[in-house]
């Protein structure tokens, strides 16, 4: 018999106010930021239909750690809540000075949570907070001028974001995460980015040399190189709009070239191909090398 309470599976939302302790902010600014932050959070949750009193909330000073019970649909947190938070951010920032403006980093994860005598204990809590601290997420928010960056764990992306068309999975970018002892991958989405009326430049297509390197890396992976396992790979491919368009070639190399070129036509197509490969062939030097090459490609 356990001497501690049973854990409960919960969705974890970690939120951080970017630049809260910026020395250019005065105490008056921080008071406005603090009040504005909690007002926009309450309003956004209410507009999505999530009752405030079902949430377990921990004030972190410059943000919040929020635990949501299982009855709150995870899909709402990526399909509706981010847009409502963005709307409230815009309303707040429109009527306040720059020093009192609010920009947010938001992380989503899920896992087991234990209730302690002075708060909760959970590896999932710690993991969500590490996602917030990933330098790539901070840089993306700063460089883009966005109002908010949303970072979701790899499992949350695969199980929740990709499962709901309303979550706009194609707007996320896969990023490596290396914070303290945590080394993994996550998915990042920017909301409210400022483009100053200039179009966002599309990523250039891979050069012939880059395509050759990609094809060679794919052929080095056994489940891609062999025709039978390649057929299974296409059956397992998570996006039928990609898999169904791959032209068939009897010659292995030509078929792999067609597979690579088709994936390159779609946002995150190569990422999805890599996920399918990992389903058949667990991590190996060849799969690791392929992942590095995919990360190095434009876009």
Using one digit for the tens of pLDDT, what is the confidence trace for 171-213? 888 888 988 888 889 999 999 876 544 434 445 678 889 999 9
Mean per-residue pLDDT, 44-49: 92
Show Cβ contacts of residue 288 under 8 Å, excluding neighbours closer than 6 positions. Answer: none
| Model pTM score | 0.67
Strands 182-191 and 148-153: antiparallel
Read off the tokens for 33.
């930021």
* 109 in Cβ contact with 158 (< 8 Å): no
Which bin fits 18, alpha (ψ -120 to 50), beta or left (φ > 0)?
beta
Quickly state the pLDDT bin for 118 (edges 50, 70, 90). low
Work out the burial of residue 24: count CB atoms within 10 Å of its CB; fewer than 13 is exposed, 13-18 middle, 19 or more buried.
exposed
pLDDT digits (tens, 9 = 90+) for 71-99: 888 888 999 999 999 999 999 999 999 99
- The pLDDT > 90 percentage for the chain reads 55
In the chain, where do the E strands start and end? 8-17, 56-59, 63-68, 104-116, 119-121, 148-153, 173-179, 182-191
Question: Is 69 in a helix, a strand, or coil?
Answer: coil
pLDDT at 198: 41
pLDDT at 117: 63
Query: Over 50: is that where the pLDDT of 22 sits?
Result: yes
Mean per-residue pLDDT, 49-63: 90
Mean per-residue pLDDT, 279-283: 85
pLDDT at 196: 44
CA angle 172, 169, 213 (to 5 degrees): 60
Phi, psi of 148 (to 5 degrees): -155, 145
Task: Tell me which of 299 and 238 has the higher pLDDT.
Answer: 238
The whole-chain average pLDDT of the chain stands at 87
Mean per-residue pLDDT, 204-226: 91
Gap between the Cα atoms of 80 and 282, Å rounded: 34
pLDDT at 87: 93
Quickly state the pLDDT bin for 4 (edges 50, 70, 90). low
Among 42-51, 119-128, 158-167, 248-257, which is the least confidently predicted range?
119-128
pLDDT at 138: 92
pLDDT at 162: 87
């Amino acid at each position: 018999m356990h001497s501690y309470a049973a854990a409960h599976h919960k969705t974890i939302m970690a939120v951080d106010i970017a630049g809260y302790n910026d020395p250019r902010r005065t105490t008056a600014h921080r008071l406005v930021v603090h009040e504005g932050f909690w007002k926009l959070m309450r309003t956004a949750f209410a507009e999505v239909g999530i009752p405030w009193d079902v949430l377990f909330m921990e004030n972190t000073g410059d943000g919040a750690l929020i635990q949501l019970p299982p009855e709150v649909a995870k899909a709402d947190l990526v399909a509706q809540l981010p847009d409502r938070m963005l709307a409230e951010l815009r309303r707040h920032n429109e009527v306040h000075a720059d020093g009192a403006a609010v920009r947010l980093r938001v992380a989503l994860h899920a896992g087991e949570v234990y209730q302690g005598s002075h708060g909760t204990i959970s590896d999932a809590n710690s993991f969500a907070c590490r996602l917030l601290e990933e330098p790539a997420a901070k840089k993306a928010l700063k460089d883009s001028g966005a109002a908010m960056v949303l970072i979701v764990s790899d499992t949350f992306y695969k199980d929740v974001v990709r499962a709901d068309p309303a979550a706009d999975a194609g707007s996320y970018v896969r990023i490596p995460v290396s914070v303290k002892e945590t080394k993994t991958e996550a998915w990042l989405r920017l909301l409210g980015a400022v483009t100053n009326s200039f179009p966002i430049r599309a990523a250039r297509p891979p050069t012939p040399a880059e395509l050759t390197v990609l094809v060679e890396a794919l052929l080095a992976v056994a489940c891609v190189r062999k025709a039978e396992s390649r057929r299974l790979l296409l059956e397992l491919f998570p996006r039928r709009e990609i898999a169904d368009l791959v032209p068939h070639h009897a010659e292995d190399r030509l078929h792999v070239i067609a597979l690579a070129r088709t994936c390159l036509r779609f946002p995150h197509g190569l990422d999805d191909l890599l996920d399918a490969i990992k389903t058949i062939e667990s991590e190996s030097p060849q799969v690791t090398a392929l992942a590095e090459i995919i990360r190095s490609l434009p876009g």
